[in-house]
Structure 1
Amino acid sequence: MGFFLFDFVTEYFNILAGLSFLLVSGVALLYIFWDVNYFIRVAFVMGYSKLFLPKKKPTDEAVIYGYCTTQDVDIFLRHMNNARYIRELDFARFQYYERSGLFKSIVERDGTALQGASNIRYRRTIPIFTAYKIITKLVYWDEKAMYLEQQFITLNDNFVRAIALSKQNIVGVNVCDLLKSLLGDEYKDPEKPAELDHWLESIEISSAKLREKKDD
């Protein structure tokens, strides 16, 4: 009886060890070939926004909070690296799309949203172990795209550390009609901010130069 129990326990632990190895190997492969943390964060942001945060109008500001950790810093280990700002803006946009109802409305119309262009200006670094918030605001739109302004603001001093503009191409959906359906009587044609106008002009100049090179 003792030998039988010993063999059973040994076999049980061998199977457990094998399953543990497969599990660890599978997780390691996922992290090697996929940006797992990114997808987990997207799912969390979308789920939390849908279940717990109040809805907003597309013209309202949306705020999301963050914290600069050791995974965000540059090679000097002192402040957030430049690429991390762009990544954090993604999560802020996901939250904005979900809370404003834009994500649901675009999907219902068989459309999709694509990042067409972006511009960011760094004013001051975000130090390690510093809390901040990102404010996302719709500042302009036309029939084909929406234009968002996003600000990184540190909570300890309320200073705007970085500011970004992005062009959101809404494919397969008329943006004006989309916003009219969400805003109703509150819909008004937007005024284009001066800085956005100059940025879009620079994009057109760049596109023209690239077309010239292609023709050559």
Structure 2
Amino acid sequence: MNLYFRFIWLFLWRIGHCKKIGFIDSSRINYRVLPLDCDINLHLTNSRYPAFFDLARTYLIAEIGLMKPFIKNKWFPIVNAAEFTYIRDIKPFEKFTIETKIVGWDEKYFYIEHRILTDRGLHCIAHVRGVFMCRGKQVPIETLITAAGYTNDAPEMPAEVIKWKQFLQLKKQRNI
């Protein structure tokens, strides 16, 4: 339930006061682990990570200057796939930062990387593959890139994302 309050806070305050960053720059947003974010092991529960990443991607959209076009054009993001690597736990009341950035795209998908950091170091790395939809149809990648004012080439995709893409394709082929 408390992520609803964080979502409302994100829209009412943080988005209105965020800085502008480049399309492939890293966005950073800070949170604190509250008691309701924890599981019986007294650390941030694994189910909260994707929810926090949703908030971080929303903040990224605002920082790269796409929030107004998203609202105006009724675009909405859809996560197609995600993979997480948990490195160490995050304790109750501990502050953490989520770094989010677009690491590449292909003809259909954007690939986004999330990193959760505290003063103790790196806690989680996640990759998300997603599309943006409008009225049941995919918004072309080029449309989004143009709306953001990005004119350079796509960044070189990290090796782990390339392997992950291959793995996802293999899963799809084996299960059709």
Q: Does the TM-score normalized on the shorter chain lie above 0.5? A: yes
Show structure 1 runs of 4+ deviating over 4 A.
Answer: none
Aligned length in residues: 172
How is 1:22-61 mapped onto 2 (pairs within 5 angstroms)? Answer: 35=1, 37-61=2-26
Listed as ranges, the gaps of 5+ residues in structure 2 are none
Which residue pairs with 1:146 in the alignment?
110
1:168 equivalent to 2:130? Answer yes
Number of the residue aligned with 2:29: 64
1:90 to 42, 51, 54: 54
Give how far 1:76 is off.
2.4
- Higher RCO (Cα < 8 Å, 6 or more apart): 2
C-alpha distance 109-169 of structure 1, shift in aligned 2 (>3 A): same
Question: How far apart in 1 are the matches of 2:70 and 2:98?
Answer: 23
1: distance between equivalents of 2:48 and 2:28? 18
TM-score, normalised by the number of residues in structure 2: 0.88
Q: Is the 8 A contact 2:131 2:139 kept in 1?
A: no
Q: What whole-Å deviation, never above 9, does each CA across 1:144-171 have from its counterpart, x for those lacking one?
A: 22111000001x23x1110000012123
Amino acid at match of 1:183: G
- Counterpart residue number, 1:18: none
* Residues 143 and 111 (structure 1), Cα distance of their counterparts in 2 relative to 1, 3 Å cut: farther
| Counterpart-to-counterpart distance in 1, 2:35 and 2:4 | 19
Q: Which residue pairs with 1:206 in the alignment? A: 171
Describe the superposition over 1:73-116 as per-residue Cα deviations: whole angstroms up to 9, x where unpaired: 11122x11111112111111111112212233244445331111
Structure 1 vs Structure 2: percent identity of aligned residues?
A: 26
TM-score if structure 1 supplies the norm length? 0.73
Deviations 1:16-50 (A, max 9, x none): xxxxxxxxxxxxxxxxxxx4x33332121123233
Task: Output the aligned Cα RMSD.
Answer: 1.8
- Pairing of 1:185-204 with structure 2 (within 5 A): 185=151, 187-204=152-169
Task: Give the whole-Å Cα distance in 1 for the aligned partners of 2:14 and 2:95.
Answer: 20
**Structure 2 letter corresponding to 1:68:** V
